[in-house]
Structures are given as structure tokens and as C-alpha cells.
A = this chain, B = another copy of it.
Amino acid sequence: MHHRKLATIEDVAAIAGVSIATVSRAINEPRKVADETRRRVTDAIARTGYTTNAMARSLRMRRANMILILAPDVGDPNFSNILVGLEIAASTRGYGVLIGNTQNDPEREADYLKFISSNQADGLILFTGHLPFGLADADPSVRLPPMVAVNEPVLNHDVPFVGVDNFEGARIAAEHLVSQGHQRIAFIGRSPARRINALREEGYRAALAQAGLSVDERLILPGDGTTESGRQATEHMFVRDVLPSAFLCVNDATALGVFMALNNRGYVLPRQFSVMGFDDIAFASFVTPALTTMKQPRRKIGEEAMNMLLTLLEGEPPRQREVFLRSELIVRNSVSRFTEK
């Protein structure tokens, strides 16, 4: 099968006693070939172990049946299941998936774009939240390649998007805290420049407003979504001595930082403080206390995004340019009922 010269369409044609055009048809449009002929071709294919040479076909057809995925870090646990969903949907529809780990390096982004301009990939899935370098600054008359953003919407460009409804998710999370009697709820992870953080903050504000609670701006702390930022924010609150009864964190990583700071100061969770995260990353259920959080339907996001892209590629306009999937409240043990001390 390998290194013994591969069978070509000519070999098959010779064995079947037909022309290569007929072999091609038998493979791609079987109904246009007489039953008997088709049988002979099928046999010949089996006998030779023939597989269509994808390069020749792609060259001729001008498409590669390949999708390029651009992500700043394929190893990011937040990405991995989206990746799985993308891969499954792609392979189901006969497409392959190429990965491009950009590390947010403009040069690597531009490099990977060559897969598109060299016809090696037909479309693009973007995890990066921005157009890849080389496209961002391109003259606007130039048509962008077919692409769909995932995880983070693309700033300032009308790129179709599939992701979680961050506003609604955060609203539900804050509502959960309110339903447990909390009135002083901190939001950890303010960062207006980050779309996700901004939306989650808005959801938080909406829930408080809806509950008739006023927002204490001193309980809203900046953070970039890292564990360290959660730790620092918490420390900061103690230094200023403005404390909540519950922490709503912009994501699970941040919540972990809050956990660490609180543990460090000797508090027992969730007795003395409640903490909520967002994302439901792998270890959320393994920390102590297990983290109450909002679960992202990651695999589903990947599948939807890929299906949207392939639909786009096949020439149909997508039914909607933005799809927001619902996140799910996962109640574990890091939130307790608030009781006045």
C-alpha cells in the first residue's frame, strides 16, 4: 500500500476495460454509469486498492475540502472541546481540519493565511477574536475568505459567530446568587476592552437591577481572566476592606484565584464566602469546594460553527450571522445560602 507505486485512475481504467472518464464518473456520479460498467469499475478499484489522489482532484476542482483553524493556543482547555466539535462536524461532511497555532503572533497568522491563498484550505475558523494579520489591513474591496468566528467574536468586522450567550449566562449566574440570598455580590474580572468580559459584566448588572439591588462599584474589580488576576482582586478587596458575601467571577480560572486568596486568609468556603465561576472547565468539579459555574456547550459550539462555515462554503447564505447557545447552570458546592452574621 505504501511505497509500492500507488494505483492511479489509469490502472483502474485499464483493468476495468473502460476510459478514465468513466472511472471518474463511476466514483463521483455513479448514476450516470451503466450498472454493469459500474460493477466492473468497483471491482477494479477493490483489486487495486485505488484511492483518488486528493492533490490532483483539488488542483482540478479548485478546492481542497480542508478547513483551517486558527487559534492562539490549541492547548487551551477552553478550546479543546470546541476543537473536537469542529473536527467531528468537518469529518462528517468529508472535510479535513488543519490546525494553526498562532500564539497571537502576527507573523504566524500571516503564514497560516497562505494555506488559504495557496488553495490548501477552503475556509477559516477563528478562535482569535481578530482577523488574522494580513487580512485585517487588506484593502476593503477585497473579499474575505469564508470564515466563522468561535469563542470570541471578531472586533469591528462582520464575521459570522457562534458562541455562548455571555450576557444571558452571567445574568443567570448572578440571579442564582441573588436567589441564595446574596445582596453584596462582587464581580471579578472587569475588562471593558474584552468583549466577553464586558458582556458578562452587563449580565451581572442586569440581574442585580432586575432584583432591585443597587450596584456597589467598589465591588467590581478589574481582571483579565487569569487565576492571578482573581487572586489579586480578592486581596485588593481585603486591603480596602470592602467585602461582598459572594464573588461572581468572569471565568473559572479567575474563581480559582479567588479560592486561593480566600484559603490563604483562612476562610472556609462556602461557609464564609460564596464563589461562582463561568465556563465549567475540567477541574471545576475537582476543586474543594466543587465550583458552581455556568457550563459552556463547547462541543456543540464547534459543531454549529463548522456546519455554518461549510454551508457558507457551499454557496448558501447562513440562516443567521450570529448564533448564541445557552450556557447551563451547574450547581456544585461553592455557593451557600447567605445568612446574616
User: Which A residues lie at the B interface, using CB under 8 A?
Assistant: 1-4, 6, 49, 51-56, 58-59, 64, 73-77, 80-81, 83-84, 87-88, 91, 96-101, 108, 111, 114-120, 138, 142-145, 227, 256, 259-260, 263, 282-283, 286-288
Contacts and interface: CB of A to CB of B under 8 A. Distances in A.
Given A101-B84, A288-B288, A4 B54 contact: no
A143 B3 contact: yes
Contact of A119 (B54, B119, B286): B54
B51 A55 contact: no
Contacts of A117: 1-2, 6, 49, 51
B101 A99 contact: no
Chain A contact residues: helix, strand, loop or mixed = mixed
B283 A1 contact: no
6 contacts: A1-B143, A54-B120, A80-B80, A91-B108, A98-B99, A263-B288
Contacts of A83: 74-75, 99
Contacts of A114: 51
A84 B108 CA distance: 14
A81 to B, nearest CB: 5
Contacts of A282: 77, 282-283
A317 to B, nearest CB: 15
A51 B118 contact: yes
Given A52-B118, A53-B119, A282-B283, A145 B2 contact: yes
